[in-house]
């Protein structure tokens, strides 16, 4: 009992004695030794003391929690989607589970796999080219999938969660001119925080138009040998270089790898979507020539149209063929020279199909049944006007509304575009520093060229940063990491920093270094073939001998399915899995291994290629070194 409690009890007794002796008359009726006034006093004092005790305890408890919250930092803003937002997303009538899980909007999804890679619980997978929530009940609502989804508005939204989705910090730039907070330095494409190929290509052309206007009003700068330096030649940089060449600017294009290497690193045969669908294609590299070979959007002639064509007879076919021919002459010019021969026939077929479809659709709006007379009365009477309208619609479709195409076709067309425009780029040259000069209106650009890392310095009046988000791959830091090997009559780099097509490697001794999802998937792909989520070992003649080296442990982000496949392959002796082992020395045909802690040699194994899949450096440090702020 506390002193306070003893004091209260004594005070209570004293009060009772006082009440009984002073207030209560001697003849008053007593109940159990006390008058009613005595009992009432006891109750009153009891309630009062209780209230004081509760008030005191509550104040202390609130104070404790408040001080803990203050120590924990500012409160995190947590919000739930309200009914208006759900309606806006079209989710108000959604009948899915009530627990937290991601919802995919297939019409926005570009199938880039960012959400699948971000999810550590294998909730998502790519199905038919777009993401799908294949195991929503496994969702732990960390919202990484939504945060990583590059499209805007998001194609992946986690619902029924109170968790906040933290947006990724982006470099400071003016939305209209693309200029950063460093005057004269512009930023476009993925690295600016705006994802997607279509956006990067559009920004590439627009930034050149802005720079041309800016330079036209600026005094000449004799110290700079270039008007504009373009750092990074992905879709954004390639579009900028082509636009700069057309605008007759003195441009310098610098690419650390090969032109359009991002696209080249996509899996072979990947269908690339040109989204957002709401925007037309615009930029320095064009899409004329894409979508002609039968890819996802190819199709046969509409059978309903055939009825109309047959009913009208040969004059319809003759007219379509002749119109398509003249139109072909105009459009083939827009296709890169190197591809014209191959794409001539598919272009003619496409033009005939589109013209037929439009004329048939027009006739259907005028009636049905007697197609020959509808053709005479409504079409032939206004033939030239109608054909001109159809032609402009088809031209627009073939040059700005291509939904996408396969990786290989896209590379052919864009590299052809750049060759036709004589765009020249310094490949295999990495930009190391960009600095605004103190003695004039220009920038100094420092680079390293080739495997020898030969230093170069350029001066350009304006700079465009178009380096994407891939960053430079982390290196193994071996003294001879650039080692070239002679293999099947070719000279190739021994260390490879990405795996595009696993079937390029058969019957080889391979080492995969890394402990993340990318490394695990690569190791499995080099010894097995996938059929959906299942894998089966490659045929004996395609089999590789794979050793996987993991410095420490598998990364915590490695998916359960990936771990399972890796350990199964290891148990079956298909992958030689070694933890705590690294590379001590690399020779042309073998590799010496070491214990990463003791540095003791632990063996020498035969080896053709090493896959260094140990992540990459995000470009933020490079941007900050230029003076660009990231918020
Ligand atoms: C697997 C996958 C699938 C995708 N699918 C689609 C899709 O279907 N549709 C779509 O629209 N988008 C897709 N994307 C996204 C798309 O690839 C990017 O939005 C697009 O490539 C951005 O172009 P960019 O020019 O901004 O950057 P990038 O294409 O990343 O090009 C940047 C270039 O800069 C170079 N570089 C970097 N640092 C330096 C340096 N210091 N010096 C010199 N050069 C440097 C790089 O080597 C690279 O070539 C996909 C992405 C991935 C990974
Ligand atoms: S990343 Fe997180 S929120 Fe998204 S599906 Fe996976 S577990 Fe759920
Ligand atoms: S990250 Fe977004 S765009 Fe990419 S696959 Fe997932 S949902 Fe689709």
**Ligand 1 centroid from CA 436, angstroms:** 26
Atom of ligand 1 nearest to the CA of 190: 26
pLDDT of amino acid 68: 61
Pocket test for ligand 1, best of 107, 112, 263 (most atoms within 8 A of CB): 112
- Dihedrals φ, ψ of 547, to 5°? -115, 130
pLDDT tens per residue across span 455-480: 999 999 999 999 998 777 889 999 99
Share of the chain above pLDDT 70, in %: 92
Task: Tell how strand 251-254 and strand 443-449 pair up.
Answer: unpaired
The reply to whether ligand 1 has any atom less than 6 angstroms from the CB of 234 is: yes
Cβ partners under 8 Å of residue 362, min gap 6:
378, 379, 386
Region 288-296 average pLDDT:
77
Least confident of 198-202, 527-531, 542-546: 527-531
Most confident of the ranges 7-11, 88-92, 195-199, 358-362: 358-362
CATH of domain 83-159: 3.30.70.20
**Ligand 3 centroid from CA 345, angstroms:** 36
**Ligand 3 centroid from CA 157, angstroms:** 10
The pLDDT-based confidence of 297 (bands split at 50, 70, 90) is very low
The pLDDT-based confidence of 295 (bands split at 50, 70, 90) is very low
**Ligand 1 centroid from CA 138, angstroms:** 31
**Atom 8, ligand 3: residue with shortest CA distance:** 109
Least Cα distance to 413 among 274, 275, 276 occurs for 274
Least confident of 34-38, 133-137, 545-549: 34-38
The pLDDT-based confidence of 296 (bands split at 50, 70, 90) is very low
The pLDDT-based confidence of 76 (bands split at 50, 70, 90) is very low
**Ligand 2 centroid from CA 142, angstroms:** 6
On whether the CB atoms of residues 132 and 111 are closer than 8 A, the answer is no
Structure tokens given for 201: 């290509």
**Ligand 1 centroid from CA 469, angstroms:** 7
Most confident of the ranges 128-132, 414-418, 481-485: 414-418
Region 264-284 average pLDDT:
83
On whether the CB atoms of residues 375 and 312 are closer than 8 A, the answer is yes
pLDDT of amino acid 271: 81
pLDDT of amino acid 454: 96
**What is the distance between the alpha carbons of residues 134 and 121, in angstroms, rounded to a whole number?**
11
pLDDT of amino acid 78: 43
Pocket test for ligand 2, best of 138, 140, 164 (most atoms within 8 A of CB): 140
The pLDDT-based confidence of 75 (bands split at 50, 70, 90) is very low
Least Cα distance to 366 among 383, 355, 378, 349 occurs for 378
Ligand in nearest proximity to the CA of 159: 2
pLDDT of amino acid 167: 66
Ligand in nearest proximity to the CA of 131: 3
**What is the distance between the alpha carbons of residues 451 and 454, in angstroms, rounded to a whole number?**
8
The reply to whether ligand 1 has any atom less than 6 angstroms from the CB of 284 is: no
Burial 488-504 (b: 16+ CB within 10 A, else e): eeeeeebbbbbbeebee
Ligand 3 first shell, C-beta below 6 A: 104, 109-115, 130-131, 148-149, 151, 155-156
Region 42-64 average pLDDT:
82
**Ligand 3 centroid from CA 196, angstroms:** 11
pLDDT of amino acid 213: 97
pLDDT tens per residue across span 543-588: 999 999 999 999 877 878 889 999 999 999 999 999 999 999 999 9
Residue 74 has pLDDT above 60, yes or no: no
pLDDT of amino acid 150: 72
More confident residue, 54 or 88: 54
610 strand-pairing partners: 495, 511
Ligand 2 first shell, C-beta below 6 A: 102, 118-119, 121, 123-124, 139-145, 158
Pocket test for ligand 1, best of 178, 206, 234, 281 (most atoms within 8 A of CB): 234
Region 312-316 average pLDDT:
89
Least confident of 199-203, 290-294, 447-451: 290-294
**Ligand 3 centroid from CA 115, angstroms:** 5
pLDDT of amino acid 354: 94
Atom of ligand 1 nearest to the CA of 267: 1
**Ligand 2 centroid from CA 144, angstroms:** 6
pLDDT of amino acid 510: 97
**Atom 6, ligand 2: residue with shortest CA distance:** 119
Region 496-517 average pLDDT:
92
* 3-class secondary structure, 496: strand
The pLDDT-based confidence of 606 (bands split at 50, 70, 90) is very high
Atom of ligand 1 nearest to the CA of 238: 25
On whether the CB atoms of residues 157 and 102 are closer than 8 A, the answer is yes
The reply to whether ligand 1 has any atom less than 6 angstroms from the CB of 196 is: yes
**Atom 37, ligand 1: residue with shortest CA distance:** 467
**Atom 15, ligand 1: residue with shortest CA distance:** 196
Region 400-411 average pLDDT:
93
Q: Which CATH architecture has domain 185-286+419-465?
A: 3-Layer(bba) Sandwich (3.50)
**Ligand 2 centroid from CA 370, angstroms:** 59
**Atom 4, ligand 3: residue with shortest CA distance:** 112
pLDDT of amino acid 77: 43
The reply to whether ligand 1 has any atom less than 6 angstroms from the CB of 177 is: no
Region 296-313 average pLDDT:
70
pLDDT tens per residue across span 328-366: 999 999 999 999 999 999 999 999 999 999 999 999 999
pLDDT of amino acid 400: 96
**Atom 4, ligand 1: residue with shortest CA distance:** 112
Q: What's the half-sphere exposure (Cβ side, CA atoms, 13 Å) at 158?
A: 29
pLDDT of amino acid 37: 73
Region 513-536 average pLDDT:
89
**Atom 50, ligand 1: residue with shortest CA distance:** 112
**Atom 1, ligand 3: residue with shortest CA distance:** 149
**Atom 4, ligand 2: residue with shortest CA distance:** 145
pLDDT of amino acid 562: 87
CATH of domain 475-614: 3.50.50.60
Q: Is the peptide bond before 433 cis (omega within 30 degrees of 0)?
A: no
- Average pLDDT of the chain to the nearest whole number: 88
On whether the CB atoms of residues 105 and 118 are closer than 8 A, the answer is no
């Amino acid at each position: 009992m506390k002193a306070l409690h003893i004091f209260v009890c004594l005070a209570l007794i004293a009060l009772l004695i006082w009440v009984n002796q002073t207030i209560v008359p001697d003849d008053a009726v007593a109940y159990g030794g006390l008058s009613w006034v005595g009992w009432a006093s006891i109750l009153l004092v009891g309630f009062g003391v209780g209230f004081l005790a509760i008030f005191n305890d509550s104040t202390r408890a609130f104070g404790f929690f408040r001080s803990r919250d203050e120590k924990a930092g500012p409160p995190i803003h947590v919000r739930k989607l309200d009914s208006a937002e759900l309606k806006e997303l079209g989710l108000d009538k959604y009948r899915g589970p009530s627990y937290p899980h991601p919802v995919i909007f297939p019409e926005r999804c570009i199938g880039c796999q960012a959400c699948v890679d971000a999810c550590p619980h294998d909730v998502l997978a790519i199905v038919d080219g777009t993401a799908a929530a294949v195991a929503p009940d496994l969702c732990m609502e960390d919202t990484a999938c939504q945060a990583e989804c590059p499209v805007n508005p998001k194609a992946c939204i986690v619902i029924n969660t109170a968790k906040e989705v933290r947006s990724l910090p982006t470099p400071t730039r003016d939305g209209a001119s693309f200029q950063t907070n460093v005057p004269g330095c512009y930023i476009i494409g993925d690295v600016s925080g705006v994802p997607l190929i279509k956006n990067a290509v559009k920004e590439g052309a627009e930034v050149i138009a802005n720079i041309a206007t800016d330079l036209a009003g600026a005094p000449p700068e004799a110290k700079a040998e270039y008007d504009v330096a373009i750092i990074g030649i992905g879709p954004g940089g390639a579009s900028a270089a082509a636009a700069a060449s057309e605008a007759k600017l003195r441009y310098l294009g610098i690419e650390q790898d090969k032109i359009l290497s991002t696209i080249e690193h996509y899996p072979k045969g990947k269908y690339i979507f040109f989204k957002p669908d709401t925007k037309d294609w615009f930029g320095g590299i064009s899409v004329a020539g894409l979508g002609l070979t039968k890819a996802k959007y190819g199709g046969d002639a509409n059978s309903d149209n055939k009825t109309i064509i047959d009913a009208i007879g040969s004059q319809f076919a003759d007219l379509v063929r002749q119109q398509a021919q003249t139109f072909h002459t105009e459009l083939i010019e827009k296709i890169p020279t190197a591809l014209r021969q191959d794409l001539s026939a598919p272009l003619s077929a496409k033009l005939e199909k589109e013209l037929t479809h439009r004329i048939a659709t027009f006739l259907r709006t005028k009636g049905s049944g007697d197609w020959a007379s509808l053709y005479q009365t409504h079409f032939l009477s206004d033939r030239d006007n109608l054909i001109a309208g159809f032609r402009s619609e088809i031209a627009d479709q073939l040059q700005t509304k291509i939904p996408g195409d396969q990786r290989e076709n896209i590379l052919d067309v864009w590299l052809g575009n750049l060759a036709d425009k004589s765009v020249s780029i310094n490949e295999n040259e990495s930009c190391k520093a960009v600095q605004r000069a103190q003695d004039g209106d220009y920038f100094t650009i420092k680079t390293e060229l080739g495997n020898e890392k030969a230093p170069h310095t350029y001066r350009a009046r304006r700079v465009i940063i178009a380096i994407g988000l891939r960053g430079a791959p982390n290196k193994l830091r071996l003294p001879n990491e650039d080692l070239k090997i002679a293999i099947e009559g070719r000279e190739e780099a021994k260390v490879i920093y990405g795996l595009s097509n696993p079937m390029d490697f058969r019957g080889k001794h391979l080492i995969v270094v890394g402990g993340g999802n990318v490394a695990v998937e690569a190791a499995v792909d080099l010894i097995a073939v996938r059929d959906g989520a299942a894998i089966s070992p490659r045929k004996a003649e395609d089999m590789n001998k794979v050793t996987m080296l993991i410095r420490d442990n598998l990364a915590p982000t490695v998916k359960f399915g990936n771990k399972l496949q890796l350990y199964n392959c290891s148990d079956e002796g298909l992958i030689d899995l070694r933890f705590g082992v690294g590379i001590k020395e690399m020779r042309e045909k073998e590799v010496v291994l070491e214990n990463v802690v003791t540095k003791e040699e632990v063996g020498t194994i035969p080896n053709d290629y090493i896959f260094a899949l140990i992540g990459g450096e995000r470009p933020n440090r490079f941007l900050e070194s230029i003076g660009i702020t990231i918020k």
